[in-house]
Each structure stands twice: as structure tokens, then as C-alpha cells.
Amino acid sequence: MNDLIKDFPILNQKVNDEQLVYLDNAATTQKPRAVVDAVTNYYYHDNANVHRGVHTLAERATAKFEGVRKKVAHFINAPSEQEIIYTKGTTEALNWVAASYGRSFVKPGDEIVISYMEHHSNLVPWQVLAKKNGATLKYIDLLPDGQLDVASAEKKITDKTAIVSLAHASNVLGVVNPIAKIAEIAHKHGAIMVVDGAQSTPHMKIDVQALGIDFFAFSGHKLMAPTGIGILWGKSELLEQMPPLEFGGEMIDWVQLQETTFKQSPWKFEGGTQNIAGVVGLGAAIDYLENIGMKQIESYEKSLIASVLPELVKIDGLEIYGPLDPAKRTGIISFNLKGLHPHDVATALDMEGIAVRAGHHCAQPLMEYLNVAATARASFYLYNTIEDGHRLVEAIKATKEFFRNGIV
């Protein structure tokens, strides 16, 4: 996939006099020309508000807007495009499940089960819901290598459990969780299964039906679409039971002085003017990814990790979080250099033109679980190369020597 770099002009630049190596893809991905062109073309030729308009531009904009809904349904193998709801991103989607379904159906004494590896977006909404509705929030343990402890899940999920919500893939540990297995356990106890797909959807083929889940959320900007657009998928029978959270234009059926009726799903959740250009960009991003093939993307990224991870393991004083088997992780590698703050490591790597992230990665309970304050994180995507991985290894080695020799 090395020839793909031509589609990403931003990658063809120097940072601190070094050729840029962008390894912050878990935070956001770069956008190919096809996505930027699709958004530009929409604004230049089709810009209008969607639905209800009978003029040509409104009809073209609406066709594009609703056409992407069908693309998304196909992309994640949803049974119907009417189960696809546009959101700002994973965060809003998970909040909507907690605030709408959760507040309606979680009762005092119920249990909500998540894990220690969750992003704050898949943790704080459940904390708030548990406190508001009188439920108990429980955490599934992790194995020593960072993988989800299925035996712990079997103990924590009980007949009192109303909701189980897990990341499909961790944004810190790089592990891919056995969602189908956990969903089976959850359903056996009468619970619903919610999945944070922010870190899985860009990197592997998603099949919500095969996973056997009830809700699935992901963000466009992590799979090369614009920021501010995301998806919530939910089973139609659950969506129909959920009340809308925002009220106003677009989502109503009929308004009288004292009563209002709402449209059916998904439109009852999409109040106000949506991020139409973002939706168009999402459609272009999905076209780009499917043209390559999600299985091919997953295979390529695993080959990158299989190349770089063994070299990182050899660096004395470098601690890597998550499994050390490349086959058991995504393209995310979180690490610390002994004696150095991860912010210093990230700054030193930036001086070599290598962009990584440092901090708690919106996973402070996981940091506490790992007994660290923060980590540095390198995350790969389809436009990265084996050479990018080798440059990361050499830059970490150079950073270690730089600080060891007291050149500060």
C-alpha cells in the first residue's frame, strides 16, 4: 500500500527538517484527496438543506445524504439503513444510548458492566446513568497482558445486568475484545450489548450481525472522513423504544399547540440541520476504504506491527502495554521509556519528525490499573510503511541515548 501516500498531500512535508511520519492515527486519521474533493464538490455544486425541499439542489443534497446511510449499512452489515443514525461521533452516540435507552430502561438495583480499558466516552456516560437511576457500575478485569478476562466477564455479568458496554478494540492496549462471546454472555442474562467501535471500524471488517450485538458506535474522523460526523447503529426494535433527545426541526411528524408526534427512526434522533458535508465526506471515505478492502487493510497493518513490534521489544528500558504477540493487537502501540515522562519522549520524537501522542489517552482508570500516569502511543494506519516503523524504532533509541547522556 506504499503507493497510497500520493493520495495524502499532508504527509508530503517536513517537520523540524525531517520527513513527517504520522503515527497519531488513533486520535485522528489524515484525509485522502477523494474525501476532500467530495466535500468541496458538495459545497460547490450541491449545497442545500436536506429533506422537504423540492428544488433541484435540495433534492441532490438529500439524495447524497440518504445514500450515505445505505453505504454505512452495507459497510457494517446492518440489516437496514433505517437503523443508521448520524451523530457527531462515537462520544455522542454512546451518550445517546446511555441517556435515551439507559434512562428509560435501567432500574434501581440493575447493573451496568464495562471494563478497565474503556475510553472515557464509554465510561463516564455509564457512571452518570448509574448514579441517576440507582444502578451499580461493575468492571471486567484484564489479564496480565492486557487482554479482556473472559472468566471475569462471566462472573461480573449476572441476571441483574441490564447493559454491557465494551470497546471493540482498546485505544491504549491495542487488544481486540471477543465481542461476540461477551454478547452471548450478556444476552444469556437478558442484558443488551453496546460496542464502542471507534478503534476497530477503520481497521477491520465490521459485521454487526455476526457480532450479535445491540448497539454499535464509530467516528468518521478515525477512518479518514471529516471531523464532526459519526454513526450510531442500533437494532430497530430498540431504537423504536427510545425517546429522542433533541427537539426541533427535521425530527417531528406533527406539531400541535400541546402535543407533538415524532418521525420514526432514524430521523426522530436527527433534530436540526445535520453535518451534511460531513456525511458526504464519510461516504467518500467508505468508498475509498472499500475500494482497497477492509480485510486487506487489516492484513497490511498486522504486517506493519509484526515488523516493528519485535524491534521495539529489544530496546532495553522500553515497556510496552498490551500483548506482545503482533497477531493479538491492532496498529496501536503504547509504551514508556524508563525514567522519562512520555511527554518528553513525544517531544523528542517530534524533533525527529515523528508524530505520536502522549498522555492518559482519555483512559485514566486504565492508567491507574496499569500503575502509570501516562504513556506514549504510536498508532499506524494504511498509509504508513515499514520504513515508518523503522524510523520510530531508531528515534526511540536515539531519544534514550539523548537523555541518558544528559544532553538536556
Q: Which of the residues are catalytic?
A: 362
Contact 64, 279 (CB under 8 A): yes
Pairing of strands 332-337, 318-321: antiparallel
Grid-cell match 466477564, residue found: 153
Could you tell me which residues come within 8 angstroms of residue 193 by beta carbon, excluding any fewer than 6 positions away? 164, 165, 166, 179, 182, 183, 186, 187, 212, 213, 214, 215
The total number of residues shown for the chain amounts to 408
Could you tell me which residues come within 8 angstroms of residue 296 by beta carbon, excluding any fewer than 6 positions away? none
> What is the C-alpha separation between 292 and 84, in angstroms, rounded?
23
Cell numbers for 157: 455479568
Cell numbers for 296: 486487506
Terminal C-alpha separation, the chain: 39
Q: How many CA atoms lie within 13 A of 188 on its CB side?
A: 11
128 vs 125, 165, 251, 321, CA distance in Å? 5, 14, 26, 29
> What is the C-alpha separation between 85 and 75, in angstroms, rounded?
14
> What is the C-alpha separation between 141 and 155, in angstroms, rounded?
10
